[in-house]
Structure 1
Amino acid sequence: MSSDEEIFGKRPKEYFQVKEKKTVTFIFSCLYMGFMGFIPIFLGILGFMKIYFPGASTWFFVSNIVLGILMIIGAIATFNFFKMGIYLFGLTLILDILFHLSLGFEELDAINGLYLFIGFALVPIIPRWKLFK
């Protein structure tokens, strides 16, 4: 028995054996990632209409829209099995969180999105990592 098995127990080997490339859970996780990209775009549009944070400057809303577009590009690249897509989505999500926290906005939608991305979206993606380019 190896030291890893002593610490973590015996891991099922079939978790990393991929039978189908794009399963329903993989498609749903990519759709979720794309949906998370529409939230900053929607908030940016509401900001331009002076509904969301009416006192904020326009560069804040433009940067929200740009981050949302980058998230959607990351979701599409993930769906097409590019490693860059997962990195791009994760980086823009973290940038969105840091951006809101640095400006003092206490909204937790991006932080909840990070938890759901780690817990929901990465579960069907990790076994397919060897298929990504």
Structure 2
Amino acid sequence: MSSDEEIFGKRPKEYFEVKNKKSVGFLLSSLYMGFMGSIPILLGILGFMKIYFPGAPQWFFVSNIIFGILMIIGSYGTYNFKKNGIYLFTASLIIDILFHLSLGLEELDAIHGLYFFIGFALVPIIPRWKFFK
């Protein structure tokens, strides 16, 4: 028994054995990441129409749209097994959350998006990490 097994117990090795590269779960997680990118775009458009947070400066809505586009590019890169896609999506999601918090918007949709990304989208991605370039 190795020292890792003594500390953590036996881990199921089947979890990390991937039979097919693009499963239904992987496809759903990529689609979810793309959907999460469409939310800031929609909020930016609603902001320009003065429906969403009318007192915010214009650069805030432009940055929302830019971060949404970056998230969609990151989800497309993830679907094509690019490590930069995961990094781009995660960085733009976190920076978007920080922009919301810096203006005093305590919106839970962006923060919940981070929790769902960690809990839902990374589950099928982590076993396929060896296929990413």
TM range (shorter): over 0.9
What amino acid maps onto 2:63 in structure 1? S
Aligned to 1:129: 129
The CA deviation at 1:47 is 0.3
The CA deviation at 1:7 is 1.4
How high is the TM-score relative to the length of structure 1?
0.98
What are structure 1's unaligned runs of at least 5 residues?
Answer: none
How do residues 49-68 of structure 1 correspond to structure 2 at under 5 angstroms? Answer: 49-68=49-68
**CA distance in 1 between partners of 2:102 and 2:70 (Å):** 20
Which 4+ runs in 1 deviate beyond 2 A? Answer: none
- Matched position secondary structure for 1:47: helix
What amino acid maps onto 1:35 in structure 2? F
Aligned to 2:28: 28
The CA deviation at 1:49 is 0.4
What are structure 2's unaligned runs of at least 5 residues?
Answer: none
How do residues 80-95 of structure 1 correspond to structure 2 at under 5 angstroms? Answer: 80-95=80-95
User: What CA RMSD, in Å, does the superposition of the two structures yield over aligned residues?
Assistant: 0.6
**CA distance in 2 between partners of 1:6 and 1:97 (Å):** 39
Identical aligned pairs, as a percentage? 80
What amino acid maps onto 2:114 in structure 1? L
The CA deviation at 1:8 is 1.1
**CA distance in 2 between partners of 1:59 and 1:124 (Å):** 35
**CA distance in 2 between partners of 1:55 and 1:100 (Å):** 13
Aligned to 1:14: 14
Number of aligned residue pairs: 133
Q: Does 1:102 align with 2:111?
A: no
Measured against aligned partners, the alpha-carbon deviations of 1:3-50 in whole angstroms (never above 9, x if no partner) come to 211111101111111110100000000000000000000000000000
**CA distance in 2 between partners of 1:106 and 1:94 (Å):** 14
**CA distance in 2 between partners of 1:15 and 1:127 (Å):** 7
**CA distance in 2 between partners of 1:119 and 1:96 (Å):** 19
**CA distance in 2 between partners of 1:13 and 1:88 (Å):** 29
How high is the TM-score relative to the length of structure 2?
0.98
Measured against aligned partners, the alpha-carbon deviations of 1:40-61 in whole angstroms (never above 9, x if no partner) come to 0000000000000111111110
Aligned to 2:118: 118
